[in-house]
Structure 1
């Protein structure tokens, strides 16, 4: 009886106040940023490059994800009660994970593209051809979609009964399904869609730095080649800061549900709250990704600024000064 008295459920407060606030902020910033970028690419950018294609597909994916957030804001603001259909719950949870891993893979492609640009700026590698980039983006979307099909057997709404209260909750993937099967599947996603791309990005970052040092030693132009390296480093930082806590806590959360490893009530609630805390951090990439559009090249930035009335010329002059 004492255990139940000292077992404080902080997760409900985290979901009601923290998740609703973070998801609302991400929805506003992500909607403005990605709609601006998509409009800029469609109406402003005439000459597309390989990197533009990866980023355009990334923005479309992010926009799909951003549109699912208002439903979750309403859910968590109403004590996690789900007011929509079962199918809507499944697809919304799918889009959350689909966006997460497509962002990872598209950022990996951008890192490879930047590395190839630095390694040989005058040569167009097959990976950097626009037709190849379009095919790769389409195949990645198909790959992630097929890869996440098993998740539909785990996720879905649940009937929760608490004393006399009855509610339908659209639970997260880590909180649903058989914990043993979920953990195996989660580890598979972690290795294939997070650790492996992280290794590729780390390799690209190291090789890009070595290539820049060689170019600098040969007294060649380096000003235009330092920006690709910063982009690779930034993408790597986003990987580590945003995605690592989520994957660690997701696997810990699933493991905490297993009978043989089930911890005490307090630890269990703390793990659940910790996992809830990391989710918006990982999804924050959808609001941060538009930064890449402005850092990747001056052509897109200047073209977009030129279309803005009144403040466009001022922004262009400030951009050229920096």
Structure 2
């Protein structure tokens, strides 16, 4: 029956995955290194939002550094040559990056909301020390949340002992047990943060519209556009992956009623969504950093002072509410 089905999975794994991961590595490496360099050498005063964003870029950069191994793995026809431990560690970092990023993005949505509704008042959430504690708590929480993942990752020896097959999470382990864990992980790691993010971004949008109706001189079109884009990008990147991951695991259950052709189609769709879910590592530096006027000006001013050997010009203009987009205040 398999002979009548169109199986594009070998082509996707040999050409699509290496290409996408290579692009993400090159662009993500440049973007995140630039942002980290900018924060360390350009930003003199750190705010609470800077702490969340810096941790987000460190998380993305850690994940980006694991992509060359995946490129080699899929280009070699699913032959893992980096050892059993690195396979498990690679899959852990991949998932840790996703769920840590989601939680940091959720924190940023809360911070933006507080900046809009009360730009002068300093809330407990926005204090620097509390931001550091929250970041450390996120790292610990996600690590504990992903401990069961080590049980489900399979590493199979291929021929020589130095070559392995490092299967992705949805294609590994006992599918019945893995499905239960995957659903719990989807709810706790994605759906709950998504609901929190939606709530605060909707409240932020409402507050910005009220400011527009008051006909004040404050320009809110840009921050309002960023709020809408943040929600859209979040949904496009993460939703298809979580849906297809659970469907992929369900298709592997022993008593599944899916036909072989349907299983192949599910696997192909799941494969397509995997690199898309990690495109946020490329867009985060652009969307959350470079669109901040103050940071962007300081970043390029620092670059000009280095390459043109001119003294760095500090921007003395007062940072308005409409220009900062809520990223550089606390």
Which of these residues, 270, 276, 296, is aligned with residue 275 of structure 1? 270
The structural deviation recorded for 1:307 is 1.4
Structure 2 residue runs without a partner (length 5+)? 316-322, 324-330
Q: What residue is the counterpart of 1:66 in the other structure?
A: 64
Rounded to whole Å, the distance in 2 between the matches of 1:4 and 1:241 is 32
CA drift of 1:5 comes to 1.9
Corresponding residue number in structure 2 for 1:250? 245
Structure 2 Cα separation of the partners of residues 169 and 44 of structure 1 = 44
Q: CA deviation at 1:226?
A: 4.7
Match of 2:261 in 1: 266
Contact 1:118 1:208 in 2 (8 A): yes
User: How many angstroms does 1:232 deviate by?
Assistant: 3.0
User: 1:40-119 residue pairs with structure 2 within 5 A?
Assistant: 40-119=38-117
**Residue in structure 2 matched with residue 138 of structure 1 by the alignment:** 136
Structure 2 residue aligned with 1:155? 153
- Shift in Å, 1:260: 1.4
User: 1:146-196 CA distances to partner (integer Å, 9 max, x unpaired)?
Assistant: 1101100111312468xxxx9621000000011111111111111111111
Residue 30 of structure 2 is matched in structure 1 by 32
Q: TM-score, normalised by structure 2?
A: 0.88
Asked whether 1:289 is paired with 2:287, we answer no
- 1:222 to 2:211 alignment: no
**1:221, distance to aligned residue in structure 2 (A):** 4.4
Structure 1: give runs of 5+ residues left out of the alignment: 317-321
TM-score of the superposition, structure 1-length normalised? 0.90
1:197 paired with 2:181, answer no
* 1:232 corresponds to 2:244: no
Within 5 A, what are the aligned runs for 1:11-22? Answer: 11-22=9-20
Q: What is the root-mean-square deviation in Å for CA atoms of aligned residues?
A: 2.1
Residue 220 to residue 123, structure 1, CA distance change in 2 (3 Å): farther
Distance 2:224 2:210 in 1: 14
Residue 222 of structure 1 aligns to a residue whose secondary structure is: coil
Could you tell me how far apart the structure 1 residues matched to 2:193 and 2:269 are?
25
CA contact (8 A) 1:107 1:235 kept: no
Q: Counterpart of 2:164 in 1: which secondary structure?
A: strand
Q: CA deviation at 1:71?
A: 0.4
Q: Which 10-residue stretch deviates more, 132-141 or 229-238? A: 229-238
SS in 2 for 1:308: helix
The alpha-carbon deviation at position 230 of structure 1 amounts to 3.4
Query: Which structure shows the higher helix fraction?
Result: 1
CA contact (8 A) 1:114 1:229 kept: no
Q: 2 CA distance for matches of 1:198 and 1:148?
A: 19
After TM superposition, give the deviation of residue 50 of structure 1 in Å: 1.2
**Structure 1 pair 123–228 and aligned structure 2 pair: CA distance change class (3 A):** farther
Moved more, 266-275 or 244-253: 266-275
- How far apart are residue 205 of structure 1 and its match? 1.8
Tell me the number of residue pairs that the alignment of Structure 1 and Structure 2 aligns. Answer: 307
